[in-house]
């Protein structure tokens, strides 16, 4: 993916690979890939400019039924031979265009991320924003859930789950990671080494450069595969491909994957620490002689992220479940401070390498339930606002934040405690996102109303299973 290809190149690739079908993938508003498949004979070079029609009224957060006609326009640089289709299929990521105006659709998340890139160049501050997300996920063996008028439950299971240490497995061979002790054990405790390696090798075959893979902290198959940093839009594309590959390889092995931030009670949730840096003319801008070897530009960028973090949460932590993870004690930072090395800070400056090219900011509060196009664009806009307005991030906090006294914590701001609170913060503070028409008022209001009506209100209206533990005998 992301090779410099022309439409002619894509058609020649299709001929060489014996492609019969073309699967057009695009991102919906909440952040999931959707797709529509065409026989190859429906594609020619003009298709990459004219697009193909589809009904946008059934896509979450998009058009009303009376204005439902939309166009998908394939991006030739994203074409790849799909490894999960029974028939030879070329997958390609598409942009969304209004068929009447021929303008990019303002609620297409990929278009919003492209506008953020354009705004970056317009400022003259930098020409490239690199992003490197560390998306964590659980590999499970069984999942069941249901809610209706008179019941509601979920059930997860994993052969690795510590709760199965006493199960009669005929034989039970033990080696199940303890709660919060799943970080880096070798096999047989890590039973998923080969499956993660298969995911890595498939991603690399599709052009995604991988840095490492490992078991994560939680029991029950928590995993992480790290991609090499890439420019903003490319990385958002890669993250969607990453999810697609990981889920399908797991399914092929009779397992399932979830990127839900907090599927397990009382063990670590899945985060997506996101590394960021700005470059101009091939040179890194975040290295310097200030704190931890960063530049003043980097400190201002940090200042912008800290100032706008509570509003950013509406995009970086966009589910009600996100705030089950954002609680103290599970490596998810709720206190808004920055530091070098200190992993209890919301923003960290990694110190692995002295190279100026390695200087970056790691934002630790996002999680992998986010729409990456929107989350990356929003974080970039917050950082740029910090640079443009020279926002001082204050003093770093190099202590273990979780060990601070209440008096010491009193002046440290915190992340929102719920999605509803994050949405309120976004509603009150979003001017920085409107610069350069990157996010429009329509896009933001659509996000707010969709999240409130389709998620917050739906969850709040239903009894929770634990409420029966607390209140049934009242």
Which residues are tagged catalytic?
55, 134, 136, 216, 224, 273, 343, 362, 364
Q: What are the distances in angstroms from CA 234 to CA 98, 147, 397?
A: 23, 38, 33
Question: What is the end-to-end Cα distance of the chain in Å, rounded?
Answer: 59
Give the H/E segment covering residue 90.
Answer: strand 89-97
Q: Are 295 and 279 in contact (CB under 8 A)?
A: no
Kindly list the distances between the CA atom of residue 247 and the CA atoms of 94, 212, 220, 255, in Å, as whole numbers in the listed order: 21, 18, 16, 9
Q: How far does Cα 32 stand from its chain's mean position?
A: 10
Q: In this structure, are residues 28 and 418 in contact, taking their beta carbons and an 8 Å threshold?
A: no
Distance CA 52, CA 73 (A): 7
Q: Rounded to the nearest 5°, which phi and psi values hold at 341? A: 70, -35
365 closest CA partner among 415, 307, 431: 415
Helix locations, 1-108, DSSP H: 7-16, 47-50
Contacts of 186 (CB under 8 A, 6+ apart): none
Helix (H) or strand (E) holding 152: strand 152-157
**3-state DSSP call for residue 73?**
strand
Q: Are 143 and 136 in contact (CB under 8 A)?
A: no
Q: Which DSSP letter does residue 178 get?
A: P
* Cα gap 436→434, rounded to integer Å: 6
Nearest to 333 by CA among 294, 364, 371: 364
SS3 readout for 441-459: HHHHHHHHHHHHHHHHHHH
Beta-ladder partners of 277: 130
């Amino acid at each position: 993916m992301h090779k410099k290809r022309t439409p002619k190149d894509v058609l020649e690739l299709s001929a060489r690979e014996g492609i019969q079908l073309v699967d057009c993938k695009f991102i919906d508003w909440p952040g999931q890939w959707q797709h529509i498949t065409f026989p190859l004979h429906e594609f020619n070079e003009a298709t990459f400019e004219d697009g193909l029609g589809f009904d946008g009224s059934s896509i979450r957060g998009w058009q009303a039924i009376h204005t439902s006609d939309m166009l998908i326009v394939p991006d030739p640089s994203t074409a790849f031979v799909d490894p999960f289709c029974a028939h030879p299929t070329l997958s390609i990521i598409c942009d969304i265009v209004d068929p009447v105006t021929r303008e990019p659709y303002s609620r297409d998340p990929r278009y919003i991320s492209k506008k953020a890139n354009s705004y970056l160049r317009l400022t003259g501050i930098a020409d490239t924003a690199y992003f490197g997300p560390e998306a964590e996920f659980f590999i499970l063996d069984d999942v069941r859930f249901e809610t209706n008028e008179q019941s509601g439950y979920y059930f997860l299971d994993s052969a690795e789950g510590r709760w199965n240490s006493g199960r009669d497995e005929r034989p039970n061979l033990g080696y199940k990671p303890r709660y919060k002790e799943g970080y880096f054990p070798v096999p047989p405790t890590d039973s998923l080494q080969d499956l993660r390696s298969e995911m890595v090798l498939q991603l690399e075959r599709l052009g995604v450069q991988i840095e490492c893979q490992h078991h994560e902290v939680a029991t029950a198959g928590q995993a992480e595969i790290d991609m090499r940093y890439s420019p903003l839009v490319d990385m958002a594309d890669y993250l969607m491909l990453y999810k697609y590959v990981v889920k399908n390889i797991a399914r092929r092995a009779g397992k399932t994957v979830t990127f839900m931030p907090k599927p397990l009670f009382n063990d670590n949730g899945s985060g997506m620490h996101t590394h960021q840096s700005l470059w101009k003319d091939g040179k890194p801008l975040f290295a310097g002689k200030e704190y931890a070897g960063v530049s003043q530009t980097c400190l201002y960028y940090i200042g912008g992220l800290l100032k706008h973090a509570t509003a950013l949460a509406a995009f970086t932590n966009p589910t009600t479940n996100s705030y089950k993870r954002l609680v103290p004690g599970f490596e998810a930072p709720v206190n808004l401070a920055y530091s070098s090395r200190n992993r209890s800070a919301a923003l960290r400056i990694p110190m692995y390498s002295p190279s100026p090219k390695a200087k970056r900011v790691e934002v630790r509060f996002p999680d992998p339930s986010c729409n990456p196009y929107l989350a990356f664009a929003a974080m970039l806009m917050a950082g740029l606002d910090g640079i443009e307005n020279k926002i001082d991030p204050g003093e770093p906090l190099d202590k273990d934040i979780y060990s601070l006294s209440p008096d010491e914590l009193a002046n440290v701001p915190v992340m929102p405690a719920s999605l509803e609170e994050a949405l309120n913060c976004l509603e009150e503070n979003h001017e920085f996102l409107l610069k350069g028409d990157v996010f429009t008022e329509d896009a933001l209001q659509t996000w707010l109303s969709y999240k409130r009506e389709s998620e917050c209100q739906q969850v709040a209206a239903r009894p929770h299973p634990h409420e029966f533990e607390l209140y049934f005998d009242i």
